[in-house]
Every structure is written in structure tokens, then in C-alpha cells.
């Protein structure tokens, strides 16, 4: 693909990519420009032939935006259906290689079936360090030559894809070393990842990115993002809510988990706000007024 084949619509999506990522992914502005840079070069075919359009290793604790970055970016550039995700904790045995490539002659496996559906997009390998060494060989082939031979004997071309590896390597230290600065933490996590992943894999990845712990201010931002969407949805249903200043801290307390990060925040927000609206409808037949935290009952209510 060359620049003349990129239509105006995709160029506009590329222009907006940085802003979209910053809106959706909070507290990680140190890594997002590096992601955008790789993708812009990849979409304009400024990467070497016979390689993926770009490759990434995303490191950091659970629930800080690693997977969400891949989801948002893929949706913006290709559409949500072009994200293909593999949980490497399910590929810890040599037999699992057959799932990816086909277990017997004539089968194409998950990768073959996926390649039939799309010629471009994102391949996401979650918790990459858990994969069996033979499965890691497949990752290495994708990173090196973007070509895989499946059980049918056919060699498939993956040069239209971005390869994403996520890992929690070093995240326990990242959470416990509270008083270290970001640069020190990044060096520590990258060093741990280099030890845990094979050197040849580590060397072939375009960008190794360490996602920060989420500060309380960023937790509030994430809660505000989900709350505003929920209020917008409820407004479209005819429920008019004002927001008390107690709501966001309450949502952070309920929706942020020390080990899971902000991952539970979306569901917690929908449940807590939804319960408050349902309670008001049952009591008064309408849900209008000020949404606030009721610490006595440990829930949100509408006054």
C-alpha cells in the first residue's frame, strides 16, 4: 500500500487519533504519542516491507489502559471488528500450537481463520509471557517476517497488521515502589521484561511502552468519563439529573480496585447510577433531581 491508496476518510481518522486516544485513555499521555507515531508511519507504508506495520509491548499493572488503548486505536483506524485477541494463558502447552496453526493437515487454525476474515487490523496477544515457547516462535515469525505457515501448507501474509503484546511483568514492583519517579520505574519494568521475554522477541518490537499507575486525579477523570456517558444515556431516556460533588469520589471508591485498576469502573458506574434511577422511579414514578452519594446506605440516591 502507498500513500495514494489512503482515502481522505482514513487520513482524517489518523489526524484525530491522538485526540481520541487522549480522551479515552487517561493518565498515560507519556506513551500515547509514541503509539500514534508508529501507526501514522505504518498507515503511510513508511515501514520496511515484509514486516508488520508496527509492533508494541505494553507493560504495566492491570486496569490502567493497556488493552483499552488497542481497542480504541483499532476501532478508530480499522473498525472494531478488525481486532483479533488471543489470551496467551490459554496457550501454555505445545498442543495449543495446533489451535493457532491447525492441528492436522487441511486445517488453518485460529490465525488462518482470522486471516481469511481480514487483511489488516490488530493482533493482540494478552499476557504474552505465559505462552509456550513454541507459541512464542509463532510470535517471533510474525514480528520478524509477518508470515506464518499453517497446517494446510499455505503461507499467510500478516504485513497489514499491528502486533500487540501485553504483559503484567514488573507490575507488582510498579505498584509497590511508590516513591520512585516514573523514569526509574520505567527502567525497572523494561529490565524485568527483557529478562522474562526472549531477547530476539524483545529486540524486534518497535515500541516497548510502560503504562503508569493511575493517580487519584486520573481515577476521578475516568469515573467522570463513564458518569457523563451514563448521564447522557439517561437524559436521552427522559431522566434529568444534576450531579453532586460527592458522586465522583464515591464512584472511585466503588469502581477502582488496587489489583484490577479502573477495569471495574464502567460496570460500577452503570450499576450504581442505574440503581439510583430505578429506586427513584419506584418511589416517585420519576427520576429527576440531584444525584448524590448516601454514605449511610453506601449507595447513590436522587434527591
Q: Where are the domains of the chain?
A: 3-210, 216-302
> Would you state the pLDDT for residue 174?
65
> Do the beta carbons of residue 302 and residue 290 sit within 8 Å?
yes
> Would you state the pLDDT for residue 112?
94
What do you get for the CA distance between the two ends of the chain, in Å? 58
Single pTM value for the model: 0.89
> Do the beta carbons of residue 209 and residue 31 sit within 8 Å?
yes
Render each residue's pLDDT in the chain as its tens digit; 303 residues: 444 468 889 999 999 999 999 999 999 999 999 999 999 999 999 988 889 999 999 999 889 999 999 999 999 999 999 999 999 999 999 899 999 999 887 888 999 999 999 999 999 999 998 999 999 999 999 999 999 999 999 999 999 999 999 998 877 766 666 666 777 788 888 888 888 888 899 999 999 999 988 999 999 999 999 999 999 999 999 999 999 999 999 999 999 988 888 989 999 999 999 999 999 999 988 889 999 999 899 999 999
Q: Long-range contact list for 184-191, CB < 8 A, 24+ apart?
A: 185/210, 185/212, 186/210, 189/59, 189/60, 190/59
183: which residues sit within 8 A by CB, 6+ positions away? Answer: none
Q: Which fold has domain 216-302?
A: Helicase, Ruva Protein; domain 3 (1.10.8)
Report the C-alpha gap between 21 and 199 in whole angstroms.
30
> Would you state the pLDDT for residue 148?
94
Report the C-alpha gap between 257 and 126 in whole angstroms.
20
Q: Which fold has domain 3-210?
A: Rossmann fold (3.40.50)
Amino acid at each position: 500500500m502507498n500513500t495514494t491508496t489512503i482515502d481522505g476518510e482514513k487520513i482524517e481518522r489518523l489526524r484525530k487519533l491522538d485526540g481520541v486516544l487522549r480522551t479515552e485513555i487517561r493518565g498515560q499521555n507519556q506513551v500515547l504519542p509514541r503509539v500514534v507515531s508508529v501507526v501514522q508511519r505504518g498507515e503511510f507504508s513508511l515501514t520496511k516491507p515484509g514486516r508488520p506495520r508496527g509492533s508494541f509491548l505494553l507493560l504495566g499493572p492491570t486496569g490502567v489502559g493497556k488493552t483499552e488503548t488497542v481497542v480504541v486505536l483499532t476501532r478508530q483506524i480499522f473498525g472494531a471488528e478488525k481486532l483479533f485477541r488471543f489470551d496467551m494463558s490459554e496457550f501454555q502447552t505445545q498442543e495449543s500450537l495446533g489451535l493457532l496453526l491447525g492441528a492436522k493437515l487441511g486445517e488453518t487454525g485460529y490465525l488462518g481463520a482470522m486471516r481469511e476474515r481480514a487483511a489488516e487490523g490488530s493482533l493482540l496477544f494478552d499476557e504474552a509471557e505465559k505462552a509456550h515457547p513454541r507459541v512464542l516462535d509463532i510470535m517471533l515469525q510474525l514480528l520478524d517476517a509477518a508470515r506464518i505457515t499453517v497446517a494446510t501448507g499455505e503461507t499467510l501474509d500478516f504485513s497489514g497488521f499491528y502486533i500487540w503484546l501485553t504483559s503484567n511483568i514488573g507490575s507488582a514492583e510498579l505498584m509497590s515502589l511508590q516513591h520512585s519517579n516514573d523514569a526509574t520505574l520505567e527502567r525497572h519494568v523494561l529490565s524485568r521484561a527483557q529478562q522474562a521475554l526472549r531477547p530476539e522477541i524483545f529486540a524486534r518490537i518497535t515500541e516497548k511502552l510502560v503504562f503508569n499507575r493511575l493517580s487519584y486525579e486520573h481515577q476521578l477523570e475516568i469515573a467522570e468519563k463513564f458518569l457523563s456517558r451514563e448521564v447522557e444515556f439517561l437524559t436521552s431516556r427522559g431522566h434529568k439529573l444534576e450531579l453532586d460533588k460527592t458522586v465522583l469520589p464515591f464512584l472511585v471508591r466503588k469502581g477502582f480496585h488496587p489489583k484490577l485498576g479502573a477495569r471495574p469502573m464502567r460496570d460500577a458506574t452503570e450499576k450504581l447510577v442505574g440503581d439510583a434511577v430505578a429506586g427513584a422511579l419506584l418511589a416517585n414514578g420519576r427520576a429527576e433531581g440531584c444525584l448524590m452519594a448516601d454514605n449511610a446506605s453506601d449507595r447513590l440516591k436522587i434527591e
